Structure 1
């Protein structure tokens, strides 16, 4: 399996998502959503050009996306009823995927995705 790393903006997105999840739905919901996000990032690392992914070259060359609902059955936590986030990512090396942003599915990605996503940290198995 390939590795994944998070850009600085993606790390901030995830922190905000999880904080909001806990504030609005409680600690257990935060844990379930974190599990779903992790499962989705692992899925991306394992198959970055998988059937559930979408080419997003119109936003940034080489960019792809995956709605996290496609990973509901892969989370180690209890299911999340209605996940609402999309992970934007790109393959930067044959065995390395960069998670660029994690945005609400109603957000306009062209306002949030740009080529300035350079702050990264390696994660994954």
Structure 2
């Protein structure tokens, strides 16, 4: 069975906002390339949630991890994005499934945007 990921409502909103901003600042082609990069990063996380480019984030939650999308620049089937600036925050909820909690700009302070109520189903 292929690995799966699920986007929380916050992650969906983050992605929509960052892609809209990409279109506004850089045009539709740039949006498409960034969307392909995000998709490559999400697939990579789902396939190997604890891979070498990921980081444990115990300061946010014991199960939380993060992945900077720059590590997937060579995995999308488009012209590489020059300077990706987003980090995906996620946790494994069961074998073969990852919940994507937030997708934040790398200059944002995660502890201000990853709310306790979104960290786990049981919290």
2:24 is matched with which residue? 23
Equivalent-residue separation in structure 2 for 1:25 and 1:46 (angstroms) = 30
The equivalences for 1:75-114 within 5 A come to: 75-114=76-115
The equivalences for 1:1-125 within 5 A come to: 1-117=2-118
Equivalent-residue separation in structure 2 for 1:34 and 1:116 (angstroms) = 27
Q: How many residues align?
A: 118
- Report 1 or 2 for greater relative contact order, CA contacts < 8 Å, sequence distance ≥ 6: 1
Structure 2 segments unaligned to the other structure (5+ residues): none
Equivalent-residue separation in structure 1 for 2:116 and 2:42 (angstroms) = 20
Instruction: Note the C-alpha offset of 1:38.
Output: 0.3
Equivalent-residue separation in structure 1 for 2:8 and 2:44 (angstroms) = 18
CA RMSD of aligned residues (A): 1.0
Structure 1 segments unaligned to the other structure (5+ residues): 119-125
1:123 is matched with which residue? none
- Runs of 4+ more than 3 Å apart: none
